[in-house]
Structure 1
Amino acid sequence: MSAHRGLHSKLTFAGLLITLGIIYGDIGTSPLYVMKAIVGAHAIDANIVLGGISCIFWTLTLQTTIKYVIITLSADNHGEGGIFALYALVKRTKVKWLIIPAIIGGSALLADGIITPPISVSSAVEGVRTFYPDLNTVPIVIGILVALFTIQQFGTKLVGKFFAPMMLIWFAMLGTLGMMQITNHWEVLKAINPYYAYHLLSIHPDGFYVLGFVFLCTTGAEALYSDMGHCGRKNIRISWIFVKATLVLNYFGQAAYLIQHEGETLQSLGGEFANPFYLVMADWFKPFGIVIATIAAVIASQALITGSFTLINEAMRLNFWPKVKIKYPTDLKGQLYIPSINWLLLLGCIGVVLHFRESSNMEAAYGLAIVLCMIMTTFLLNYYLIMKRVPWYVFSPIIAIYLAIEGSFLVANLDKFPHGGYVSLIISGVLIGIMATWFRAKKISKNYTKFVKIAEYKKVLAELSVDLSIPKYATHLVYMTNANRIDEIEEKVMFSILQKRPKRADIYWFVHVNILSEPYKTEYKVTEIVKDDLFRIDFNLGFREPTKINLMFKEVLRDMVKNGEVDVTSRYESLSKNNIIGDFKFVLSEKFLSNDSDLRWDEKIIMNTYFMIKKLSLSEEKAFGLDSSSVKIEKFPMVLHPPEKIGLTRIE
């Protein structure tokens, strides 16, 4: 915890540079497509251009700077950010329905991770058409995406060192290009006056529609919050001053160029695939600009991919997602790789590229999902401010203003639905379905798990341990338990030990994993229930910590042996004389839906879907990081609403 405090209070040049490389990929590449989307194929209208950049300036100020950089970054969960970290923080308020915005927001952010790489890379690569108008960029874009997703398995430690200086070059280029155009048309700066935004939205017939494209300038704000744990709050806040300045300069520079060509179309200025981002460049610089833009787009994609891995990892710990395989390619804290998610994201990105083909078509799909995520964050933020005892008359107007702003963005983005917005909503809908089903099924399962008091079984377990008439099953018998109370255990565990096949062991161990509402913590507690015969270990792990029970259990045993709390030497006479450590056997229970269950229609859908998804997810022993050679899986029927009486009639 002190390390995280240090991270958030420390401000260094290296920290600022790393922040540029990690945090701003998504929001930093938005100048590639925002102005192009606002102007579209229509003749350039100075009112729309001025109103558009006025909206962009105030969106970056109100939405990104005030809401995210100033307010939301304060809502950190022991140094970590993101919608799931925020949910883990506010669920302490015991408001049950907060699970809804958490699941919707998390799903929308993941959907954004499928659309951002294609639109960023496509927008950058399409600059090549300035020189080769007939070039088909689709294979190039897919090739870059395949390469990007393939290198994920090796980690981003080395690539990360390359990111920071490249993004510094990128932002310096944005600011310089923008400033050069502004000096030719200083009048464009009058768009800082919010009147031009108001004029566009209230008077111009196409004004409100433009708001859907203006929103694209702030889509990376949610990712910025999610990556807070990597860089620290102070580094983000200070570096944002530089980033915002370069973004604003570039947007105003593109606007200055467009206003000077009022009445013309982008096509007449630079061909069929003209983009104001590239039109402001000198011809000699365009090849360099295209290369730098493509690298920046790849970095933006990289940030969202790693963010998606972190998001899924948190979702698993919070019981929102099936257990999947996680790899740790480097020794960096929080650096992880999830193969199944990596390849699913790649398939999704390729599907988006093949479906839309052009970045201009992708703009319609982009933004609708992320605005939902932002609205959900606002709901959770409301409860965070309540939890922090901020007076209602302070936070209520703030929340109301942001709900109004984001509600307007949502309505404007709904216009995109028939033009491609349905794609992001379908992806979000599928993800919401998986998360909601998994969470609900886990809850149903927990409600129908029967617990018994361990005290009632102490005597029989102590006697079983020394009953030589029963063959020894293992020296150490370990059961994973979901019982939160130390004095309780699942009835099925006692059934497994005493009745399914009596399992004699020298020492019985009950191991419980408790996922905390904070991100990084590794603690354990040992309780001796029956002296020398029965122990319980409780692991308290942060929701971003890997669950490696095999290694953790061995470490606990080493400490206990060192302290003289337990003797793990085999109790077989010949092995004991030679100080041989006893064998360990882990027993895991796998549930299946009993035919005796009498389910309601909604429970039937949820539980059948749950067991179908479970077949595709990681097995319990792999999820707990156990060695499969020492694991025994036992199947138990899960009975929901058993019929109380069948009504049999006895005949003679």
Structure 2
Amino acid sequence: MSTDVVVAEHINNREEKQEEHFSEERLHGKKLSRQKLRRVDSLDIESGNVSSYRGHSSKTKEWPVILHLAFQSIGVVYGDIGTSPLYVYSSTFGNGIKHRDDILGVLSLILYTLTLIPLIKYVFIVLKANDNGDGGTFALYSLICRYAKVGLLPSQQAEDQEVSNYKLELPNNRLRRASKLKSALERSHFAKLFLLFSTLLGTSMVIGDGVLTPCISVLSAVGGIKEATSQMTEDRIVWISIAILVCLFMIQRFGTDKVGYAFAPIICVWFLFIGGVGAYNIFKNDPGVLKAIYPKYIFDYFRRNKKQAWVSLGGVVLATTGTEALFADVGHFTVRSIQISMCTVTYPALVLAYTGQASFLRDHMNDVGDAFYKSIPKPLYWPLFGVAVAASIIASQAMISGTFSIIQQSLSLGCFPRVKIVHTSSEYEGQVYIPEINYLLMFACIGVTLGFKSSAKIGNAYGIAVVFVMTLTSSLLVLIMIMIWKMNILFVIAYVLIIGTVELVYLSAVLYKFDQGGYLPLAFAAILMTIMFVWNDVYRRKYFYELDHKISPEKLKETILATNSYRIPGLAIFYSELVHGIPPIFKHYVSHVSALHSVLVFVSIKSLPISKVPAEERYLFRRVRPDWLNVYRCVVRYGYIDIRNEQDSFESMLVEKLKEFIREEMIIHAAIKHENDESGSDVGDSIENESENSVESEENTKREMENGVENEGTTEKELMETDIEAVNKAWRAGVVHLMGESEVIAGEGANIGKKILIDYAYNIIKRNLRQTDKVLDIPHMRLLKVGMTYEL
């Protein structure tokens, strides 16, 4: 073991020296054409440290597409925050209005909260922290993992940083605090666990939002019918709401693209209605309500009501519901499209709606319980009621779509049990549907609606979920500001003091209502986090077990020779999660099966902390020596929104990339011999004298390498052609997929906690969810499973 560590450290030191040598050229954007000549087998080592920041970006789209997506986003992203006027004032003034000027204080709180959190924080700051166009709690976590080695699996590779979307530069010494923070995170195991814990908690709360949003929105809208008829009882409202919810979840399988098109016109009409009614009430009732822009009324409100004013903040914060969906759903759209729709439609309509209701309440203080419907002019009541019900249905779409997005990300990073991901749009990336989660959300919504029966009780629970996610997002964002964006420390301090303080005050207020329904999202989060923690913990234990018992290339040769395995025609793809080395399950396979296919490829499916890996950069091959074994290792790299179940194209692409690797390997081998024979020096010396023109240098180097193969005679070409022909023959003979079917149990002497975690909790989850071959969509007729027991 100590020898392996010494070798790994030696290779890492060599890589660091090479990185220093190349730094000046890289900073000027020059390609180093012969860098590949110094290939290091990083499938056995961890990558070096590379930090800093190249710039955050979003998906680049043309203006017609941006405007098209901006229109779609209105139907998907803003349904939740757009229907908040249905219940904010009734939730805030739960015990009625005590003083006429309290209305001005609450309106001022709503206006400044809307401006600070949804508009300034999310639209203009948080959206900039997207990960190549994708958002959500896991997007923030993946950004941090990319710039610092805070992941809990030792699967990093130097070559990962060469993927186009990785977007890293060399360390920037301009600001030392960024590198200090990075080093502190990398050294602290507690910090790594805490980051993962915070991410899982945020994810669980977003999923909890996906349950509570449909319940409160639909109940609030349908409840308005009581204003028109006294025959509508509470039970009838509940059952109508449940019927609407079932229909909503049933249409999710059609995808965000189609749902967005259907919903966007309705939400546009909704915003037009509430904005228009708000303007009407301002002029009809009390235009003086506009003075609420003066923050003095906030201080007067707290001075008059003291503790009750603080408790009422739990209702005020409901004006921001759905803002996390705004960030989570950015992967369905673009940053610019969401900024346009928020600034031109959503924000102005909400300001008018809340101001209009406040103006109405100034003259009708006793109607606060039904302020929204009572403030509607009589001729518009039924049209607006119909639109309100439709908008409340749509309000759920934002959190449902956001839930699908964030679960897809967590699944790719090994933090969620296996579920089926359905990509619903071939035109827009990131639009997904998850059948299992959709039905779980539906049943949970039905249960909450039947259990609480009123929007007021659900509102107490809803506030906790909303503010928790906001606070966690701010915490991760501060790390990104310091470590990745390298922002001026004064800006970071200002962010923490202003937005951070506001969110903490709101958090304290919503926690006060814990026993009045606030326990519900925390209960949801506890259940989800337990599932996610169990899965992730055992996932990591399995990985470390395989890493500790991996088969070295030398041991592989001994194993194959010792068992006298017969080679049969065909290509065998052996799947494993292990990146560094050959998994121990292969030795178990060889000891029980006396035949091996003529070409064997060990494939490791790996998720990078980026959203998407270009297809041409997805495959990383290495040969297992000696060459006559025809055994290769391959790491197939995906981002967390990449499609993984295109098996036919995967097989053909794997073979083509394997042949391409063989050609490149032979060319490099010949070029190294040619260079050393001519100069008698290391290839690295010739790299220093490369041409200033990188494009011309690339072409010259390619010609030199090809000539090197020719100059070596026929030997190198014959070896290359022989290996490629072996691959072609194996491909024609047929492909077999070999997959480990491992049973995981607690090791001998394990304590009771570990036995419960592994033997019961993990295995119950595993038995009730999809198997890996179904997630990868491997053809059943060509699949061979190898059983083995792991004692962890």
Q: Which of residues 400, 410, 423 in structure 1 aligns to 2:520?
A: 423
Q: Note if contact 1:29-1:300 (Cα within 8 Å) is conserved in structure 2.
A: yes
How far 1:436 moved relative to its partner?
1.7
Q: Note if contact 1:585-1:631 (Cα within 8 Å) is conserved in structure 2.
A: yes
TM-score (norm 2): 0.74
Structure 2 residue 410 is matched with structure 1 residue 258: no
How far 1:16 moved relative to its partner?
2.7
Q: Note if contact 2:88-2:316 (Cα within 8 Å) is conserved in structure 1.
A: yes
Matches within 5 A, 1:221-232: 221-232=323-334
Structure 2 residue 622 is matched with structure 1 residue 527: yes
- 1:48 match: 102
Structure 2 residue 394 is matched with structure 1 residue 291: no
Distance change >3 Å, CA 525–CA 125, structure 1 → 2: same
Structure 1 counterpart of 2:375, one-letter code: V
- 2:456 match: 360
- 1:386 match: 482
Work out the CA distance in 1 between the residues paired with 2:62 and 2:80.
22
Q: Note if contact 2:74-2:268 (Cα within 8 Å) is conserved in structure 1.
A: yes
- 1:649 match: none
Work out the CA distance in 1 between the residues paired with 2:560 and 2:520.
61
- 1:200 match: 301
Cα distance per residue 1:561-612 (max 9 Å; x no partner):
69873545557xxxxxxxx921222222233234752213432232231122
How far 1:222 moved relative to its partner?
0.9
- 1:556 match: 654
- 2:318 match: 216
SS in 2 for 1:224: helix
- 1:68 match: 122
SS in 1 for 2:733: coil
Structure 2 residue 211 is matched with structure 1 residue 118: no
SS in 2 for 1:137: helix
- 2:768 match: 616
SS in 1 for 2:378: coil
Work out the CA distance in 2 between the residues paired with 1:595 and 1:426.
28
Structure 2 counterpart of 1:160, one-letter code: G
Matches within 5 A, 1:189-588: 189-205=290-306, 206-242=308-344, 243-262=346-365, 264-266=366-368, 275-331=370-426, 332-387=428-483, 388-449=485-546, 450-457=548-555, 459-460=557-558, 475-485=570-580, 488-497=581-590, 499-521=591-613, 522=615, 523-530=618-625, 531=627, 533-548=630-645, 550-551=647-648, 552-558=650-656, 560=658, 565=724, 567-568=726-727, 581-588=732-739
SS in 2 for 1:489: coil
Work out the CA distance in 2 between the residues paired with 1:456 and 1:368.
56
Q: Note if contact 2:137-2:203 (Cα within 8 Å) is conserved in structure 1.
A: yes
Distance change >3 Å, CA 141–CA 474, structure 1 → 2: farther
Work out the CA distance in 1 between the residues paired with 2:608 and 2:289.
52
SS in 1 for 2:361: helix
Work out the CA distance in 2 between the residues paired with 1:520 and 1:569.
30
Work out the CA distance in 1 between the residues paired with 2:401 and 2:269.
22
- 1:35 match: 89
Work out the CA distance in 2 between the residues paired with 1:303 and 1:9.
24
Q: Note if contact 2:274-2:349 (Cα within 8 Å) is conserved in structure 1.
A: yes
Instruction: Show structure 1 runs of 5+ residues with no match.
Output: 267-273, 572-579, 641-652
Q: Note if contact 1:44-1:258 (Cα within 8 Å) is conserved in structure 2.
A: no
Cα distance per residue 1:129-149 (max 9 Å; x no partner):
221223121111111111111
How far 1:254 moved relative to its partner?
0.3
Structure 2 counterpart of 1:204, one-letter code: N
Work out the CA distance in 2 between the residues paired with 1:195 and 1:566.
81
How far 1:19 moved relative to its partner?
2.5
SS in 2 for 1:430: helix
Matches within 5 A, 1:583-594: 583-594=734-745
Work out the CA distance in 2 between the residues paired with 1:61 and 1:183.
23
Work out the CA distance in 1 between the residues paired with 2:606 and 2:231.
58
Structure 2 counterpart of 1:502, one-letter code: S
SS in 2 for 1:546: coil
How far 1:25 moved relative to its partner?
1.5
Matches within 5 A, 1:96-135: 96=192, 97-135=194-232
How far 1:2 moved relative to its partner?
12
Structure 1 counterpart of 2:535, one-letter code: W
Work out the CA distance in 1 between the residues paired with 2:781 and 2:255.
29
Cα distance per residue 1:101-149 (max 9 Å; x no partner):
1111111111011000111111111122221223121111111111111
- 1:575 match: none
Matches within 5 A, 1:140-155: 140-155=240-255
Structure 1 counterpart of 2:198, one-letter code: P
Distance change >3 Å, CA 51–CA 81, structure 1 → 2: same
Work out the CA distance in 2 between the residues paired with 1:9 and 1:500.
61
Q: Note if contact 2:57-2:131 (Cα within 8 Å) is conserved in structure 1.
A: no
Structure 2 counterpart of 1:257, one-letter code: F
Work out the CA distance in 2 between the residues paired with 1:379 and 1:281.
41
SS in 2 for 1:598: coil
Work out the CA distance in 2 between the residues paired with 1:409 and 1:464.
68
SS in 1 for 2:432: coil
How far 1:199 moved relative to its partner?
2.1
Higher helix share: 2
SS in 2 for 1:374: helix
Work out the CA distance in 1 between the residues paired with 2:744 and 2:726.
40
Moved more, 7-16 or 72-81: 7-16
How far 1:247 moved relative to its partner?
0.2
How far 1:628 moved relative to its partner?
2.0
How far 1:542 moved relative to its partner?
0.6
Q: Note if contact 1:368-1:421 (Cα within 8 Å) is conserved in structure 2.
A: yes
The CA RMSD over aligned residues, in Å, is 2.5
Structure 2 counterpart of 1:593, one-letter code: V
Of all paired residues, the percent bearing the same amino acid is: 30
Structure 2 counterpart of 1:57, one-letter code: L
- 2:711 match: none
Work out the CA distance in 1 between the residues paired with 2:289 and 2:230.
31
Work out the CA distance in 1 between the residues paired with 2:367 and 2:486.
54
Structure 2 counterpart of 1:540, one-letter code: R
Structure 2 residue 268 is matched with structure 1 residue 168: yes
Work out the CA distance in 1 between the residues paired with 2:491 and 2:64.
29
Q: Which of residues 269, 279, 283 in structure 2 aligns to 1:183?
A: 283
Work out the CA distance in 1 between the residues paired with 2:383 and 2:132.
42
How far 1:260 moved relative to its partner?
0.7
Work out the CA distance in 1 between the residues paired with 2:747 and 2:469.
41
Distance change >3 Å, CA 237–CA 561, structure 1 → 2: same
Work out the CA distance in 1 between the residues paired with 2:746 and 2:88.
56
Distance change >3 Å, CA 203–CA 62, structure 1 → 2: same
SS in 1 for 2:331: helix
Moved more, 597-606 or 128-137: 597-606
Distance change >3 Å, CA 146–CA 383, structure 1 → 2: same
Q: Note if contact 2:257-2:424 (Cα within 8 Å) is conserved in structure 1.
A: no
Q: Note if contact 1:451-1:489 (Cα within 8 Å) is conserved in structure 2.
A: no
Work out the CA distance in 1 between the residues paired with 2:766 and 2:62.
39
Structure 2 counterpart of 1:385, one-letter code: M
How far 1:637 moved relative to its partner?
1.7
Q: Note if contact 1:72-1:381 (Cα within 8 Å) is conserved in structure 2.
A: yes
SS in 1 for 2:460: coil
- 1:646 match: none
How far 1:18 moved relative to its partner?
2.1
